[in-house]
Structure 1
Amino acid sequence: MTEIFGEEWLSQAVDLLVRLVEAAGALIIFAGAMVAFVRFVIVALRDRRPETFVPVRLGLGRFLALGLEFQLASDILRTAIAPTLREIAELAAVAAIRTALNYFLGREIKEERAELAKRHADGRGPAEPAGALR
């Protein structure tokens, strides 16, 4: 009699989860790109000063950071069942790259937010516009 939850079944279940998490990450990035594009068009029609595009970039950056987290989660899931040394090394490399991307993206978002807050405090412009994603 075969096991109900054998290694074959577990492998297929994890493969399905990996695909779902990868798809979620891709959808988040796509949705962020679409939201940013619409916001960009709206802002471009009203005002072409470079600082008016910063909130659009911040919103897109947040979506990218979240999407990258989902992609990293799928990479971790992929190596959940009996990983080889090569798979562990690949995961480490991908995780390092994605973590670095996320770190620098997060740092840029923080710096841009501080600059927006400073401009707002100085009365030189609005903080993030109404409806901006946080």
Structure 2
Amino acid sequence: MSAESALEDALGVIVPVVEACGAVVIAFGAVFSFIRLITLTLRGAGSESFVSVRLGLGTYLALGLEFQLASDVLRTAVSPTFEQIGQLAAIAAIRTALNYFLSREIAEERRQVAAQSTGPRELEKRAARHTGYPQEGGPRRQPPAGTEGDGRQEPPASR
């Protein structure tokens, strides 16, 4: 038995397992998100509560797509034909684009959730902490010693 045929045999087992993992992740995410949706609906939650359900489902979908892409890569790992390489490139491009836009949407929704939960005043405080410059009305920083208010340094005093 050659190394190539041993690898093909191993991949014959590994690829379906990785594909199944991706399918399980997506199925679990769909069921979990559906249960959360029903629970929130029965509790009379507002529409902004459903954003968290979408975020959760999107995360599961992105992870499941990663597993599916991994199985496609593994499938063509041993002596691929040009046709298989072309198919893999097309599949990888489509899944990568889906994952990219899904991740972008998840990040935007997380920013919206954070903005809704913190409010504008808290966001101003956070911006001031990160930039060092207060927003609208907080205490101003003093210029470092030896600088004027316009930012130019004074010449050193002669002795």
TM exceeding 0.5: yes
Partner of 1:43: 40
Report the TM-score when normalising by structure 2.
0.72
**Match for 1:19 among 16, 23, 44?**
16
Report deviation, 1:9. 2.9
Partner of 1:75: 72
Q: In the aligned structure 2, how far is the partner of 1:32 from the partner of 1:56?
A: 10
Report deviation, 1:19. 0.3
CA offsets, 1:27-79, max 9 Å, x none? 00011011101101111111253211000010000000000000000000000
Structure 2 stretches lacking a partner, 5+ long: 121-159
Partner of 1:132: none
Report deviation, 1:122. 1.7
Structure 2 residue 96 is the aligned partner of structure 1 residue 99: yes
With CA pairs under 8 Å and 6+ residues apart, which has the higher RCO, 1 or 2? 1
Letter in 1 for 2:84: E
State the superposition RMSD in angstroms: 1.3
Report deviation, 1:6. 4.0
Q: In the aligned structure 2, how far is the partner of 1:47 from the partner of 1:12?
A: 53
Structure (1 or 2) with the greater helix fraction:
1
Percent pairwise identity: 54
Structure 1 stretches lacking a partner, 5+ long: 124-134
Q: In the aligned structure 1, how far is the partner of 2:25 from the partner of 2:76?
A: 23
Partner of 1:53: 50
Q: In the aligned structure 2, how far is the partner of 1:77 from the partner of 1:30?
A: 22
Report the TM-score when normalising by structure 1.
0.85
Q: In the aligned structure 1, how far is the partner of 2:86 from the partner of 2:93?
A: 11
CA offsets, 1:90-131, max 9 Å, x none? 0000000000000000000000000011111128xxxxxxxx
1:88-127 residue pairs with structure 2 within 5 A? 88-122=85-119
Q: In the aligned structure 2, how far is the partner of 1:67 from the partner of 1:38?
A: 19
